[in-house]
Structure 1
Amino acid sequence: MSAALARRAAALLGGDLAQTRTLPGGDLSECVLIRLADGREAVAKSGPAPRMEAAMLAAIAGSGAPAPAVLAVDDTVLVLERLSDAGAPAPAELGRAVARLHAVSGARYGWHADYAFGPVTIANAWSDDWPAFWAERRLLCHAGHVPGALMRRLEAVAADLKNRLPARPRPALLHGDLWGGNVLSDGVRVTGLIDPACYHGHAEVDCAMLALFGRPGPGFREAYGPPEPGEAERAAIYKLWPALVHLRLFGAGYRGMVEGLLEAAWV
């Protein structure tokens, strides 16, 4: 598949393929670095919805946050500018980048189309009720895909979200999968936010995701802005979504994470 992906990307760029190298990651899609005979380099990525991902990257770039330029796209391949990735960014730089992204507001919660992480559907139908959106599109959607005992606890969380989440937070533009591996940096500044799963929702969702596998450092919060009252109490509820996705995609090794977050949510 790597060779076919590289050849297709080169054809979309109108050049002759000279070299290709598989890039790390690629749990849900294949990603290769290509070099053309004329010296141009690009990153080629497979996936079920390249055009939608291209639109999401354009939305991120339109916010003023850094994102790779889309060089070419068709129904099977996304070709992106190659960006520097030389280490973690300065926390303040990341804070400023995420703040620019979240400064963009939508009229409602959701996105104009559903998306997916592999076999896990990301339902994005528009809603005016944020607790209902999170309950239906991010928690109850896992019924039939996780063990019954976990599902019953998720149902209890979902039933009480009207008391735990704000009814109408500002519908910020979210990256949707904002963890350290999806932040490219030259070691100081953020060069690109990649692999998005964008929609409009409570800005705290991205901030919670950033803290799921580690924290960006105190400079992040200083640059991003102060937390809203109650943010710490809501974090476990927002972290449940990516933890459940990991459980479904990668197996029982993530059950402990889900159970820990349910305990933190007092369920």
Structure 2
Amino acid sequence: MTAYGKPSLAAGEIEQVLRNHFGPGAAEITPLAGGNLSSVFSFVHGGKGYVVKFSDLEGAFKTEGYVSDLLTGQGLPFPKCTALGETGRLAYIVMERMDGRNLADCTAEEQARQLPELIGILTRLAAVDVGTTNGYGWIGPDGNGAYASWKDFVVACYAEDQRGTFWENWHDLYRTSCLERDVIEEIYGRLMAYVLYNEPHRGFIHGDFHQWNILSDGTRITGIIDGNCLYGDSLVDLAILDRHMPSNGVIQAYRDLQAKSGVPFPNFKERLKGAYYFKGLDGLRFYAKMGWRDAYLVTRNFLLNLDA
């Protein structure tokens, strides 16, 4: 897979885009780190902070704009999209900048104290009204999922043929990395056995619900950012958070909240295992691709011991 280079922009191009939407007065235009597929800048206008992203990829940001409208419209602390458009060869999106720092930068004690609020937000994400949409898997620009069923999505995710995606030629990792074919096939088989438990449950999934995409002022959660959003069983987000905060009692805190609400939760253990296998399998090939052997081994051992 060939390397992708983010678009470069002259200062005048950025200023013109901002002038078109805000008029004169945008200041402190500063490039931000991150953004694997886009060039990202922060700026201030009228005393308020914003972020603008630029990409030359087809259809860039349309889904992000849809998700922003969906979540902010239902009261979730997600960046509000204020502009979406194109300038020459580039697409761009402007979003309000949220206060706070990454939850990962808080102390362990601060993170633990904010767990109840985190669980509350996770529960609200799962309850987002998606009734006017259809489909499973990655959310498209029209707000619908790309697949007819959760099983179809899972099969497509882990198929060998991934041309044109980040996972193109991923089976080469069996030769070039620590990725083990027998382990992947074992875990994939388990995943498919649990698909039937996840299949009936269709809700909003953030997809990257962990401390690096959660903002905090040290005492409370100020925002959720940068989702890899899809439709399916919302326990996927719970599994992600638990694996990133394994010593914080995430699962028990979630069960306690559900018990208080009186909401029935059929097949919870089976659904959670399906979520662990789904995200864990993707984690294994990602860690192998990145050369992160220690993370690979931790996840490998966790998954293999799930049904031990």
TM-score normalised by structure 1 residue count: 0.77
| Alpha-carbon distance in 1 for matches of 2:17, 2:258 | 40
Q: Name the aligned partner's letter for residue 120 of structure 2.
A: R
* 47-56 vs 13-22, greater mean Cα deviation: 13-22
1:134 corresponding residue in structure 2: 154
Which of the numbers 47, 54, 73 marks the counterpart of 1:62?
73
Deviation of the 1:218 alpha carbon: 3.9
Q: Kindly state the Cα deviation for residue 133 of structure 1 after the two structures are TM-superposed.
A: 2.6
Match of 1:101 in 2: 125
CA contact (8 A) 1:184 1:192 kept: yes
Which residues of structure 2 form unaligned runs of 5+? 1-7, 104-110, 260-264
**CA distance, structure 1, for counterparts of residue 285 and residue 23 of structure 2:** 38
User: CA shift at 1:18, angstroms?
Assistant: 2.3
Which 4+ residue blocks in structure 1 deviate beyond 6 angstroms? none
- Among 193, 200, 211, which residue is 2:242 paired with? 211
- For residues 67 and 301 of structure 2, the distance between their equivalents in structure 1, rounded to whole angstroms, comes to 32
Per-residue CA deviations over 1:15-60 (Å, capped at 9, x if unaligned) read 3332123334434433322124x43431122344122211122222
* Higher-Rg member (1/2): 2
Structure 2 length-normalised TM: 0.68
Residue in 2 aligned with 1:118? none
CA contact (8 A) 2:198 2:274 kept: no
Amino acid at match of 1:56: V
Task: Within 5 Å, give how 1:177-188 maps onto structure 2.
Answer: 177-188=208-219
CA contact (8 A) 1:150 1:259 kept: no
1:162-207 deviations in Å (ceiling 9; x for gaps): 4223153310111122221111223333332211222111111111
Q: Secondary structure at the match of 1:229?
A: helix
Shift of 1:3: 5.4
Instruction: Say whether the 8 Å CA contact 1:34–1:43 is kept in structure 2.
Output: yes
- Going from structure 1 to structure 2, the CA distance change for 1:177 and 1:164 (only over 3 Å counts) comes to same
SS state at 1:74 partner: strand
Offset of 1:229 from its aligned partner? 2.5
- Whether the 8 Å contact between 2:79 and 2:97 is mirrored in structure 1 is yes
Q: What secondary structure does 1:83 align onto?
A: coil
One-letter identity of the residue aligned with 2:283: A
The total of aligned residue pairs comes to 256
Structure-1 residue corresponding to 2:146 = 125
- List runs of 5+ in structure 1 lacking aligned partners: 115-123
Question: Using CA pairs below 8 Å that are at least 6 residues apart, which structure has the higher relative contact order?
Answer: 1
Query: 2:170 aligns to what SS in structure 1?
Result: coil
What is the CA–CA distance in structure 1 between the aligned matches of 2:210 and 2:159, rounded to whole Å?
20
